[in-house]
Copies of this chain bind each other. A is one copy, B any other.
Amino acid sequence: MRTLPDIGIVGAGIAGLHLGLMLRQHDVPVTIYTDKPAAALANGRLLNSVAHHAPTIKREKALGVHYWPVEQYGYSCHHHYVGGPRPLVFRGDFDEWSSAIDYRLYLPKLTEAFEERGGQLEVRMLQAEDVEPLAERHDLLVVAAGRGAFASLFPRRPELSPYERPQRVLSVGTYRGIAYSEPKGVTISASPGHGELLEIPMYTAAGFTTALLFENVPGGDLEILGKRRYDDDPKAYERLVLDKLATHHPRTFERVDPAQFELTSPLDILQGALTPTVRQDYAKLPNGKYALAIGDVHTVVDPVIGQGANSASHSAWVTGEEILADYGFDELFCRRVAARRADVVLGAAQWTNLMLAPPPEHLLRMFGAMDENKAIADEFTNNFDYPDRQWRILATAERTGEFLARRS
């Protein structure tokens, strides 16, 4: 006889849902609290432009929620373009494919699966003062509420949070009129001093579209894409996008058909900015119980290298395994989750933060090596799946030097 814990989860994003689904596979009673019904998400504004990498797709398969087969919806590579006087153009191939499905399709479908499998869903807006009574109701409360409401429960860790403000001003939208790259892949285009473009083959309610995620440096020539509101003059905004693509991100521009180019629908654009922040792994509540943070409420990364959701899913997975294996939900439990996920989750955060900084010499060396050596570009690309490995290569100039010495 196995006694089963009762788990409460705040938040129905990827973190909360992957954890909830995993626990339901083991018959653990789970309640997810969320402020928005799935239908509101489905019909709402674009949430993000998330690419899932192979480890996340493996978890989806294990959870029985891989509804968009990666061979059909996914892509196989990264096309890199680094602008400048002597542009670098090279490709890195994944061993296993990634894919990007609009979260307005993805999250509602997983929410449905969660409920079908006996998960409880309570739709209500929670406040900070609800946390303690909720924790009373369950053996463990996991907070997976994203970067909003509950962040203050988990103090910021300054030693892992080098930035006080956003490093990029974002504009992300799904567009038609852009031919996919060959082979189908994400194009990562950097315009030094101005920011990056991630061009992502994304499946949405409108079918196969292209997400353009502009990561614009504050003060640079592209900042305006994040600042000028699309809604004020949609056509003018689209012309602005085309104009900036032509100047800064030519590899994507050359695949645009200007006659067809437009946002797929007025809700399919999101503009804003976020401050990368790593927070404490858990909080001790006044009643003596612990609340564990997973996903964005624990670690917010800038989306410039597409790590946040993958990291959130990893965190959910580790948490689920520990819930199933452990005998209590005390500080020892929380610390063990923290220790087990640290390499991947903090690796993702640290690598991302490096990519936001003015590129140090050794990162430029790395790009140079990728341009010259396909195997290195492939390894770099595969390490989007393993941010801990990537960080171990990129953390210092010495490490990158040693990595390159071994590979050449």
Contacts and interface: CB of A to CB of B under 8 A. Distances in A.
Interface in A376-408: 391-393, 395-396, 398-400, 402-403, 405-406, 408
A2 B339 CA distance: 30
Q: For A328, A343, A399, A408, which residue has the most chain B Cβ atoms within 10 angstroms?
A: A328
Interface in A325-343: 326-328, 330, 332, 336, 339, 342-343
Nearest to A330: B396
A94 to B, nearest CB: 21
A1 interface: yes
A343 B339 contact: yes
Interface string A303-344: 000000000000000000000001110101000100100110
Contacts of A339: 339, 342-343
Given A327-B399, A342-B339, A332 B392 contact: yes
A3 interface: yes
Contacts of A400: 327
A393 B330 CA distance: 12
A327 B2 contact: no
Nearest to A408: B1
A325 to B, nearest CB: 8
B3 A405 contact: yes
A185 B326 CA distance: 30
- Copies of this chain present in the complex amount to 2
A330 B398 contact: yes
Contacts of A327: 392-393, 398-400, 402-403, 406
A3, A327, A343, A396, most chain B CB atoms within 10 A: A327
A344 to B, nearest CB: 12
A159 B314 CA distance: 30
Interface string A37-63: 000000000000000000000000000
Contacts of A399: 327-328, 330, 332
A27 B14 CA distance: 45
Contacts of A395: 328, 330, 332
A336 B343 contact: yes
Contacts of A408: 1
A328 B3 contact: no
Contacts of A3: 402, 405-406
Interface string A1-44: 11100000000000000000000000000000000000000000
**Taking each of A2, A392, A405, which has the highest tally of chain B beta carbons within 10 Å of its own beta carbon?**
A392
Contacts of A406: 1-3, 327
A142 B120 CA distance: 52
Contacts of A391: 332
Contacts of A336: 343, 392
A408 B2 CA distance: 9
Nearest to A326: B392
A336 B398 CA distance: 17
Nearest to A404: B327
A34 B28 CA distance: 54
Interface of A: 1-3, 326-328, 330, 332, 336, 339, 342-343, 391-393, 395-396, 398-400, 402-403, 405-406, 408
21 contacts: A1-B406, A1-B408, A2-B406, A3-B405, A3-B406, A326-B392, A327-B392, A327-B393, A327-B398, A327-B399, A327-B400, A327-B402, A327-B403, A327-B406, A328-B395, A328-B396, A330-B398, A332-B392, A332-B399, A339-B342, A339-B343
Question: 4 nearest interchain CB pairs?
Answer: A327-B399, A327-B402, A328-B399, A327-B403
